[in-house]
Amino acid sequence: MASAWCFRRGTTSAAPAGGRPKMARLTPMLASVATSAALVSLRDLPQHHTIDYNLKLNFANGESIALNNTAVNVAPAMIFMELALPMLAASENPFARVPVKDISGTIRVTPQAREAQILSVNVPRLKYRPGETVKAFVTYRPFRAGDATMPIELTLPRDLPDGPYQLVVSDWQRYLGDEASSEPFRFSAESAAEVFSVVRDFTSIRHNAVYARLMRQADGVAIGRVAMPRLPSSRRQVLLGAGRSNTTPFVSSTTKSYPTEYVMDGSAEFVITIDNEARVEVGNTGGAATPRAITKPETGSPEKTAPNPTEDKEKDKDRSKPGKTEKDAESPTVPGN
């Protein structure tokens, strides 16, 4: 079949006679075939496996997208979906059709499932002064391995007003959902260049990491993708009342990521209090994680709570008194799922 070549917006695409779709639209399909061949051409994937992929997509307009991430126990089609997102966004957006020029990189498969379930998060204190550091301990269970604990820290902004704030410790999926709800302007575009910025924001989120987020008040305004956080309320109302369609209110957040060896699953939430005159308070602050697949506890099993250091000291005093035996003193309980 004869084909005629045409040039549009500095790119080259093929338009066969008879009005059939251009060859550029077949690129995602061809990339899918190439990805599947690279993964399973010699043998099927192991039952339990981890895929580390490091790919680079170069586009006809000079833009490039890097895909460097990890997936556990997924089908080859899921890797293609990661690969197809930038290509479809670049070619099917309302601003300009930008075809992909070439794709290169490596895909590494190992026969171990490097994933872990977040069981609980312990925050020893729930009251802080602005500028202090929140310390937490994440207990997780790797696939077919024993429990482990990971310490994390988050430094609070010095300009935090007094009041309660939500603290979330989570996996990448919860983090992505919170990003989209608190800062929706980061996932919208008004030009072809901004389309690539949106894709980079999405693909830069690592799967093998733990994320901490401190939610502040709704104090920010974005015009397009330009964010103006922590505005005075009067100025914020002026911008929101101007009637511009690309003006978006958003919630300022303090976030931090902690790379891990595993792809984590689960999250936990706390409410911490900011008080300029706060004193050190230690309490029962163990938080059970919330996995996406929730397993109900057995009927009649007692609820487990975090240990209380104050109660432990009182029990130690009781043990030292005459007539008290080890059997009389209650054993402290520990955090559980």
pLDDT digits (tens, 9 = 90+) for 9-33: 333 344 444 444 455 567 777 777 7
Q: How many CA atoms lie within 13 A of 256 on its CB side?
A: 13
Task: Let me know the angle formed at the C-alpha of 264 by 151 and 122, rounded to the nearest 5 degrees.
Answer: 35
DSSP 26: G
246 and 97: one domain? no
Q: Is residue 335 part of a domain?
A: no
| 320 has pLDDT over 50 | no
Phi, psi of 152 (to 5 degrees): -135, 155
pLDDT in tens, 175-225: 999 998 888 888 888 899 999 999 999 999 999 999 999 998 777 777 777
pLDDT band at 291 (very low <50, low <70, confident <90, very high): low
Q: Report the number of distinct structural domains present in the chain.
A: 2
What is the number of H-type helices and E-type strands within the chain? 6, 18
Same domain, 125 and 90: no
Q: For the chain, what percent of residues have pLDDT higher than 90?
A: 45
* Rounded Cα–Cα distance for residues 164 and 41 (Å): 55
Answer whether residue 317 is part of any domain: no
Of 170, 157, 151, 152, residue with least CA distance to 128: 157
Report residue 274's pLDDT band, with 50, 70 and 90 as the boundaries.
very high
Q: Which ranges constitute the DSSP H helices of the chain?
A: 27-40, 76-91, 172-182, 192-203, 233-240, 309-320
pLDDT in tens, 219-234: 777 777 777 776 677 6
Say if residue 254 is in the same domain as residue 143.
yes
Residue 260's CB: how many other CB atoms inside 10 A? 19
Single residue among 110, 133, 160 that ends a domain in this structure: 110
Do 41 and 128 lie in one domain? The reply is no
Residue 36, in any domain of the structure: yes
**Which domain covers residue 234, as residue numbers?**
115-288
The pLDDT of residue 288: 64
Which of 25-39, 115-129, 317-331 comes out lowest in average pLDDT? 317-331
